Structure 1
Amino acid sequence: MPYTCTLEQAVDCVLSEIDGPIHLGLPLGLGKPNRWVNALYARVRQMPERQLTIYTALCLARPRAGQELQQRFLEPFVERVFGDYPELNFLADLHGDKLPANVRVEQFFFQPGSLLECEPAQQDYISSNYSHVARDLNAKGLNVVAQLVAADAGQPEHFSLSCNPDVSLDLLPLLERRRAAGETILSVAQIHSDLPYMAGDAEVPRETFDIHIVEDERTTLFSTPNMPVSLQDHCIGLLASTLVRDGGTLQIGIGSMGDALAAALMARQQDNSGYRALLQDLGAEHWAQAITANGGLQPLDQGLYGCSEMFVNGLLALAEAGLVRRQVYADLRLQRLADSGALDEQGRLRSVQALLDIGLPAQLRADDLHWLRGSGLLQGDVQWQDGYLHWPDGSRVAADLRDPQTQARLQACLGSAGAGVVLHGGFFLGPASFYQRLRELDDAERQRFAMTGIRYINELYGEEALKRLQRRDARFINTVFTMTLLGAGVADQLEDGRVLSGVGGQYNFVAQAHALEDARSILLLRSWRESGGELSSNIVWEYGHATIPRHLRDMVVTEYGIADLRGKTDAQVIEALLNISDSRFQPQLIEQAKQAGKLPEDFCLDERFTHNLPERLEQLRERHGALLDEYPLGCDFSPVEQDLLRALNWLKSKLRLSEVLELGKATLDAPEPAAFAEHLRRMSLEAPEGVRETLYQRLLLAGLQATSGSWAG
């Protein structure tokens, strides 16, 4: 029987039951029981004779700012949105290089950019494909796992793994084998009252966990507020949306480019004429061949099936809009029926003939009848005996699906297999409104969203025949921050070796795209960036690291177009990427490719692609503003905060905030304080004291004026 106890008693239990080093596994992201982890960490800090190693990923901390202006903006917002969210104390010590000698933290994914300057974290990073994490952690001798779970009064015998069945479902059987072999392994569960209760594979018996902490967690759930979608990101999302095929499969990641893609797909459905007009102005005719071959511009009449390691807000929005609605089933024969169109939206069989069409034997056997009844497709007490189907009233027909009499009798008894699943997800993380909408799902709606183990989603092996049927016309859409001209993608690590985030499942999906028929990997990339007034191309000749090797190159989308790289020669790949690069950097890139002998000396870029400049895209906002919402999936910022965020981003991109001379120049043309009085009050700069605050006020006014009436930072 599970041990039910207080938070501190759970710490006592682990310390007494585990003899020797503690190897603690915690879920990625939201599912960590932070207060219990903090209690264990505090206890071990005072016990230098005990060793604790924590294995986890994506440790979530409130956003922080280095510059005072950003701090003035963030602090009230963070207080409002993150409330009493308990941060992980070991994470603060890791940042400050203050971990005690008896504690170590190994992570396979970082909160993006948060640990670039943290040497201990960089040294203890584990580079592992997401689908291999359970295997790798088990091999390290994991002997304690702890997780937040959800509870439902209507399901008293079960917990829901909710936001994190991803690694847990893959890991628990491995731990059970070691436990059966005599090892001591403990699992700890703590209920969080606000975690949505997800059903299906995420629902596990309470006995799965050895220790149940009776104190429900009621602190604020960590959320990721929707960030603004720039014009650059909108253009990327629009072009990527044309590559999504109706009736297909969709995987997308978190962030503003993913939000832009979701918004574009909704525009394709809800305002198709406006969508087409916007794409025409964007120059989509240059990519007509790729669009026709891979996607289209028409509304999504059949809908999409979502198969994404991360269940993001954009996927839920697409489901709410009726776009993610193609149903899949866990049974191979049911899936064949669904793919053939033989099942209606309630999972009812349209005709008996469809059973023959998917290969069910004409001469029904007892096990075939058992499957028909067990799946719900056939109702009533029908029995098989000696080649006949028998009913309780004594009537019978031949067990032959070709027999018209048999077909007619079975047609009258057809039932329903029930609604299928429209999305498989491994973990979720999103804005507070996303959690609220999941909590408000009724039982039938909740069954449509299947949270499950990450190996099911990220790999083809294991039930491969079923997965191939479910994942037809798959579009795996992820982001990178750099592409080389030869087609390698960079998403996790800087050139000097420092890890920005992690590989996660990106490689898994790229490999799947090459293994599945009619699937494509689509990498989204901003073609250029600006920081501190310095412009850089995100398409470069070479880079010292690759997340996606160039032999797995497929499709790349920037704000300027689509590059189909699959099966192309190096020269063709280079030209395709030049076509969608920013024209300010094209001459240098061409020269580098020529010097390397990868382009002929007489190469000239097609004139159509020599005007790839931000100014060309600016006209889109004036003509198509209704489809280019800055926050298409909702917003946690007030209107004043939206203005301030725009201004602060502009200042960060245009100015090196450490250079006094440059700052002085920026304030010369700043407007009078009365023009933005409410904004100054929000930043506590309405009455500046001293030279520093006066400078901050003038800088902020300059940024507000520069971005007034515009949201394309």
Structure 2
Amino acid sequence: MSESSKRLQDVDACVDEVIRRVGKQITLGLPLGLGKPVRFVNAVYERAKQDPEIRLYIVTALSLLAPKGSSSLEKRFMGPFADRLYGQIPELAYARDVTRNRLPDNVTVSEFFFKAGSFLNNRSQQRHYVCSNYTHAVRDLMGQGVNVVAQMVSPGDNVDVPGKVSLSCNPDLTLDLIPRLRELEAGGTPVALVAELNTNLPFMGHHAEIEESRFDLVLDQPSTDYPLFSAPQMAISPEDHLIGFYASCLLKDGGTLQVGIGSLGAALVHSTIIRHQHNQAWRAVFDHLRVSDEFPVVQEIGGYGRFDEGLYGCSEMMVDGFLYLMEAGILSRAVYHHAGLQELINRGEINTTPSLAMLDTLREAGLIDSPLRARDVNWLVSWGIFSARVEFKGGRLTVSEQSVDGDLDNPETRQAIETVMLGEHLKGGITMHGGFYVGPENFYQSLREMPKAQRERICMTSVNFINQLYDHPFGDQKLKVAQRSHGRFINSAMMYTLNGAAVSDGLDDGRVVSGVGGQYNFVAMAHELPGARSILTMRATRNSKGKTLSNIVFNYAHCTIPRHLRDIVVTEYGIADLRGQSDEQVYLRLIRIADSRFQPELLKQAQKAGKVDPSFRLPASWCNNTPQAVRSALAAAGDGDRFPPFPFGRDFTDEELALGKALKGLKAATATRRGKLSTLWQAVRASDEEGRYQHLLERMGLQNPRGLREKLDQRLVIHGLQQLETPPDTGNSET
């Protein structure tokens, strides 16, 4: 560490030192999601609560909290589950107070990305939200006056790299923030960079591995290391599965993949694995849906075979699905940090096995000279083309006792190179570039236990390297273009307007649901990068206050992605290829993949606006976009459940799954005043005389209810469970 660095074992002493360095006006920048140093943040927040002279401004994104539930039934359901998953993890005190609107007057919290829907009704957070593209976050953090940055890091001592730590889950912004803060410091502004060590955090190398001395303070308190916050696996509905299936049709072997978190991303990963490992079953669904005929864009840019060349992952978020793709042998296309080398690989002029032919090609491309010079030999050794035993001495190539000149036209030299000097394979290949990660506990465990050689194929890095093509210290535009061949950037949207605008982060009344994040960056990059496509996935319908509504709408008073960046949209009813199309075709292609209950009205609106020929009529082949058709399509895969609700495991017990479905049904049934009265009337008459639901009532703590509230809750649970056995056919059920 540098002379100014300090390693402290007491969190309060760490806070004292920060205040000594920067004073009591603290603008604290924290990583998005998992990388928040909970012990230090809680101590700073507590100090601010105790000392009103401190002005604490926290700038961050995605503050993670264990779910609590709102109604009495939800709290009973979530309590044991949250204790099981999060009971040993200290809670972010400021984040909980934000949800309760209990921040003290001297503390402000601004986020540029919310957990979806978490702050829709929180006026303070809506007011303090900062709208920023992910790639502009560092600029905007500096604009907010950040003078303290704190992050949880993985200690290097566990992997024999003394003096190093790993930014692990969050190099995304920190790699670019550190030099900016040091520039600020050099100009006379006091700053403090704080690292909180946690041995549970997987150690990731490459760009994420930095000198410990780049931090001013290092909190080393191993006795209080806590487990990592996990994001449970979400159930994948049949509709989600079919969206994922259609998206998997658009992936090209040898291409590049970006995908986000959630059930739609998990569904894509699952269908991609089925396409690779169980291609016959996958093709049965493909043929049943007549994908080639109905959506010819698949023939143009996608595929339906195995991934023999493999995919390369380049995603701001490394979701756990990328590890499943790696295990399945799909995430296997390695890219190299040299544009010229990568371009030769892309064109098939060289492969990853060193040979004399490779040397000749490298020479023709101007990457090496003949006779070979010292810099050529060092370069060839660094990429594994030459064995590490090869040296350049006295103008000659030497291995042990053998020595030849560097003339690649000399038969003796060629013989010696082929016999004893070539390496086994290219080195330095990366199959996954990620900016941050968060996921279930088994994801973290897999990263911790992953063999070093496999983990070295993952490079956690700056989000500005990943999310845009502009030059960056970690790679210029030429390199990025070479690596990201056949890019498929897959993100989700909430709604889509018929004129081609995506609604992904907010509502028409101005409230923010989540944030832009990196979605705009990837959509824009897809239009700039040769051969790339932006794919927005979206459920065709949603339920609101007891009604089914279309997510494809005529217009909407908010958009995240403007209409001039329209590209590909996927619902459970198909694929709309919008790039370069006339407005009439855009309107019709979106109506084609809308739920059939809403197609006539959408067409009527489009025709009234003069966007579609008045004589156009809906073709019969478009009019089977129903939930029943979704299930029929998935069933075409044959025997066995190829599309289960939890293909990658689950955190909920069997009892919790049953109770969760019952509570979900109750919530839907009571969305309206009439539905609430009807449900209560039916619930008070419900009973469990045979004791069929006793074990489930015990899980809810309602086996022996006391008082009117608990008795009513018990009856509601019984009624909800009974409804599961004979669910009404609403045409819009979910798993």
| Pairwise TM-score range, normalised by the shorter structure | over 0.9
Determine whether 1:290 maps to 2:288: no
Secondary structure, in 3 states, of the residue corresponding to 1:626? Answer: coil
Aligned to 1:456: 465
Determine whether 1:19 maps to 2:32: no
Task: Give, in angstroms, the shift of residue 181 of structure 1.
Answer: 2.4
Task: Give, in angstroms, the shift of residue 10 of structure 1.
Answer: 0.6
Determine whether 1:3 maps to 2:6: yes
Secondary structure, in 3 states, of the residue corresponding to 2:155? Answer: coil
| CA displacement, residues 106-146 of structure 1 (integer Å, 9 cap, x when unaligned) | 21111211111111111111111101111221233211111
**Is the 2:137–2:173 contact (alpha carbons within 8 Å) kept by the matching residues of 1?**
yes
Query: In terms of mean alpha carbon deviation, does 298-307 or 417-426 score higher?
Result: 417-426
* Inter-partner Cα distance in structure 2 for 1:357 and 1:246: 28
Aligned to 2:648: 633
Task: Give, in angstroms, the shift of residue 423 of structure 1.
Answer: 0.2
* Inter-partner Cα distance in structure 2 for 1:350 and 1:287: 45
Q: 1:550 to 1:666 in 2, by over 3 A?
A: farther
Determine whether 1:519 maps to 2:528: no
**Is the 1:113–1:500 contact (alpha carbons within 8 Å) kept by the matching residues of 2?**
yes
Question: In the alignment, which of 647, 655, 664 is matched to residue 649 of structure 1?
Answer: 664
Aligned to 1:233: 240
Determine whether 1:309 maps to 2:316: yes
**Is the 1:347–1:419 contact (alpha carbons within 8 Å) kept by the matching residues of 2?**
no
Structure 2 unaligned residues grouped into runs of 5+:
728-732
Task: Give, in angstroms, the shift of residue 92 of structure 1.
Answer: 2.5
Task: Give, in angstroms, the shift of residue 694 of structure 1.
Answer: 4.3
Amino acid in the other structure paired with 2:218: H
Secondary structure, in 3 states, of the residue corresponding to 1:495? Answer: coil
Aligned to 1:334: 341
Aligned to 1:262: 269
Determine whether 1:546 maps to 2:559: yes
| CA displacement, residues 585-638 of structure 1 (integer Å, 9 cap, x when unaligned) | 111111111222211221212221112111222334555452111101110111
Aligned to 1:421: 430
Q: 1:558 to 1:12 in 2, by over 3 A?
A: same
Secondary structure, in 3 states, of the residue corresponding to 1:675? Answer: coil
**Is the 2:382–2:427 contact (alpha carbons within 8 Å) kept by the matching residues of 1?**
no
Secondary structure, in 3 states, of the residue corresponding to 1:145? Answer: strand
Aligned to 1:480: 493
Determine whether 1:593 maps to 2:606: yes
**Is the 2:354–2:422 contact (alpha carbons within 8 Å) kept by the matching residues of 1?**
no
**Is the 1:346–1:419 contact (alpha carbons within 8 Å) kept by the matching residues of 2?**
no
Q: 1:361 to 1:161 in 2, by over 3 A?
A: closer
Task: Give, in angstroms, the shift of residue 702 of structure 1.
Answer: 4.0
Query: In terms of mean alpha carbon deviation, does 278-287 or 91-100 score higher?
Result: 278-287
Amino acid in the other structure paired with 1:663: T
**Is the 1:383–1:391 contact (alpha carbons within 8 Å) kept by the matching residues of 2?**
no
Aligned to 1:201: 207
Aligned to 1:36: 40
> What is the number of residues matched between the two proteins?
711
| CA displacement, residues 500-530 of structure 1 (integer Å, 9 cap, x when unaligned) | 1111101110011111111010000000012
Aligned to 2:514: 501
**Is the 2:507–2:513 contact (alpha carbons within 8 Å) kept by the matching residues of 1?**
yes
Determine whether 1:679 maps to 2:686: no
Task: Give, in angstroms, the shift of residue 3 of structure 1.
Answer: 1.1
Question: In the alignment, which of 165, 169, 176 is matched to residue 163 of structure 1?
Answer: 169
Amino acid in the other structure paired with 1:370: N
Aligned to 1:65: 69
Amino acid in the other structure paired with 2:558: H
Task: Give, in angstroms, the shift of residue 356 of structure 1.
Answer: 3.7
Q: 1:182 to 1:520 in 2, by over 3 A?
A: same
Secondary structure, in 3 states, of the residue corresponding to 1:150? Answer: strand
Structure-to-structure mapping, 1:324-403, within 5 angstroms: 324-341=331-348, 351-356=358-363, 358-360=365-367, 363-364=370-371, 366=373, 367-379=375-387, 380-383=389-392, 395-397=403-405, 399-400=407-408
Task: Give, in angstroms, the shift of residue 397 of structure 1.
Answer: 4.0
Aligned to 1:97: 101
Q: 1:393 to 1:93 in 2, by over 3 A?
A: closer
Q: 1:408 to 1:475 in 2, by over 3 A?
A: same
Structure-to-structure mapping, 1:661-700, within 5 angstroms: 661-664=677-680, 667=683, 672=688, 674-689=691-706, 691-700=708-717
Aligned to 1:432: 441
Query: In terms of mean alpha carbon deviation, does 616-625 or 139-148 score higher?
Result: 616-625
Q: 1:132 to 1:648 in 2, by over 3 A?
A: same
Aligned to 1:580: 593
| CA displacement, residues 354-386 of structure 1 (integer Å, 9 cap, x when unaligned) | 324544356345233332233332234443878
Q: 1:231 to 1:51 in 2, by over 3 A?
A: same
**Is the 1:532–1:652 contact (alpha carbons within 8 Å) kept by the matching residues of 2?**
no
Query: Normalised by the size of structure 2, how large is the TM-score?
Result: 0.92
Q: What percentage of residue pairs aligned between the two structures are identical?
A: 42
Query: In terms of mean alpha carbon deviation, does 12-21 or 462-471 score higher?
Result: 12-21
Task: Give, in angstroms, the shift of residue 396 of structure 1.
Answer: 3.5
Structure-to-structure mapping, 1:126-275, within 5 angstroms: 126-153=130-157, 154-216=160-222, 217-275=224-282
**Is the 1:347–1:418 contact (alpha carbons within 8 Å) kept by the matching residues of 2?**
no
* Inter-partner Cα distance in structure 2 for 1:585 and 1:548: 23
Query: In terms of mean alpha carbon deviation, does 39-48 or 220-229 score higher?
Result: 39-48
Q: 1:200 to 1:664 in 2, by over 3 A?
A: same
Amino acid in the other structure paired with 2:119: L
**Is the 2:499–2:587 contact (alpha carbons within 8 Å) kept by the matching residues of 1?**
yes
* Inter-partner Cα distance in structure 1 for 2:400 and 2:412: 18
* Inter-partner Cα distance in structure 2 for 1:11 and 1:619: 60
Task: Give, in angstroms, the shift of residue 639 of structure 1.
Answer: 1.4
Task: Give, in angstroms, the shift of residue 42 of structure 1.
Answer: 1.4
Secondary structure, in 3 states, of the residue corresponding to 1:227? Answer: coil
**Is the 1:352–1:407 contact (alpha carbons within 8 Å) kept by the matching residues of 2?**
no
* Inter-partner Cα distance in structure 2 for 1:632 and 1:346: 36
**Is the 1:146–1:188 contact (alpha carbons within 8 Å) kept by the matching residues of 2?**
yes
Task: Give, in angstroms, the shift of residue 295 of structure 1.
Answer: 1.0
Aligned to 1:556: 569
Aligned to 1:45: 49
Query: Normalised by the size of structure 1, how large is the TM-score?
Result: 0.94
Task: Give, in angstroms, the shift of residue 459 of structure 1.
Answer: 1.0
Secondary structure, in 3 states, of the residue corresponding to 1:429? Answer: coil
Secondary structure, in 3 states, of the residue corresponding to 1:643? Answer: helix
* Inter-partner Cα distance in structure 2 for 1:691 and 1:178: 62
**Is the 1:344–1:350 contact (alpha carbons within 8 Å) kept by the matching residues of 2?**
no
Amino acid in the other structure paired with 1:171: L
* Inter-partner Cα distance in structure 2 for 1:160 and 1:55: 22
Determine whether 1:408 maps to 2:423: no
Q: 1:361 to 1:422 in 2, by over 3 A?
A: closer
Amino acid in the other structure paired with 1:501: S
**Is the 1:27–1:167 contact (alpha carbons within 8 Å) kept by the matching residues of 2?**
yes
Query: In terms of mean alpha carbon deviation, does 293-302 or 364-373 score higher?
Result: 364-373
Structure 1 unaligned residues grouped into runs of 5+:
none
| CA displacement, residues 557-598 of structure 1 (integer Å, 9 cap, x when unaligned) | 000000000001111000000000001111111111122221
| CA displacement, residues 235-254 of structure 1 (integer Å, 9 cap, x when unaligned) | 10011000000110000000
Task: Give, in angstroms, the shift of residue 393 of structure 1.
Answer: 5.5
Task: Give, in angstroms, the shift of residue 283 of structure 1.
Answer: 4.5
Amino acid in the other structure paired with 1:213: L
